[in-house]
Structure 1
Amino acid sequence: MLRWKRVEVSSGALLLWTALYYFDDQGLLPLCLLACIFHELGHYLAILALGGQVTLLRITCVGAEMRLSSRRKLGWLEQILAALAGPLVNLAVGLAAVRLWGPAGWCFGGINFALAAFNLLPAGCLDGGRAVGFLLLPILGREGADRILRILAGALAAGLLLGALLLLRAGSWNLTLWLLALWLLTESVWGGKKDLQSGRRYGKILRTQ
């Protein structure tokens, strides 16, 4: 594991980046990492602007996690704004790339759009799920909000599994859909619930395919 000040990079992340770099024939990995940097920067700046403090940024093979100081807690509305800041920055960067660079910026713009769209899915471990969870928190309480997030995560995972089965029936084996559905089930049911209850961290994942 590498650590520099408040940033940790796990050994798994380093191995994953090495493997992706080796198989990256189109040179998309640097663009994907740059989009991720913009995404995390959006969260970080929003948290600071809202009065919070990031104590640790941990990068693993399945995403990035920001841990917030318990001395500067954010309210439910601030949590929603902080969660949505990352995807909104990706949308803004994507639009700027397409507008300023034209066809040359479509690739980088598309990566940012895909990253924003994925993180806005209503799963508890993603930004969209965190926003929905904290929106429901003052209305339904923790248990009610967690229950809704589990239902949404289950429905989303079921949809991905159905898509994977249809592709398999058509003769195409898409490992990404199977892994993504499994990850959403495990992370959203257990990890997402922990995140919502603690209100201290943001879990995200980026899949390249």
Structure 2
Amino acid sequence: MPAPEPLLPSCLQPRRVILFSGHMIDAPGRAEPRFPPALAPAAAARIAEALDRLEAGPLDLGLTQGAAGGDLLFAEAAQARALPLLFLQPFGEDEFIARSVRPVSAGEQWVARYRAVAARLASPPHAMPPAPAAAADNPFERCNRWLLDTALACGGERVWLLCLWDGRRGDGAGGTAHMVEEVSRHRGHVLHIDTRELRPHDPAGSPPLPD
């Protein structure tokens, strides 16, 4: 199922588009930990350092969904640097919160953080148009493709994909691996923060900026 048309108006030409893709905080009782809550401070520090090294600010644009975990850590860091931010989401906001914010560990705290970020957005979160009823569809993958197409509409060389990711492949079209490949194919730039290398209370060691 194709993604919706890119959201950005043709007149908008940010200096950089910083597209974020990252793991959600683990749900309670997750069998194989991927991004446990204890790693959130280290991840936040890595994201903040990456934005500082990019000198991200008002001339740029940030894009993400806004899920609990990496997305919201990125959004908080973006707003702290006056980086304009758009939330593109696979559902209406209430359903998105129910499916992508509240279910994680300490979910109500993440809901409060989400609402604080959303209240400061220049425009409300944008819900993706629904797919036709008869179509086989993964709305999260389709929304990631929507985010990717929106970023690339500004010109591939302007795009910086910042991903908080364990490096595992096989997540299909619209997954992080696919986004990394597509950004690279369009001459964009990729900054990978590997969750397997994060340690609690150890924010050092951000990934180098590519040439």
Query: TM-score with structure 2 length normalisation?
Result: 0.29
Q: Mark the structure with the bigger radius of gyration.
A: 1
Query: TM-score with structure 1 length normalisation?
Result: 0.29
Q: Highest relative contact order (Cα 8 Å, sep 6+), 1 or 2?
A: 2
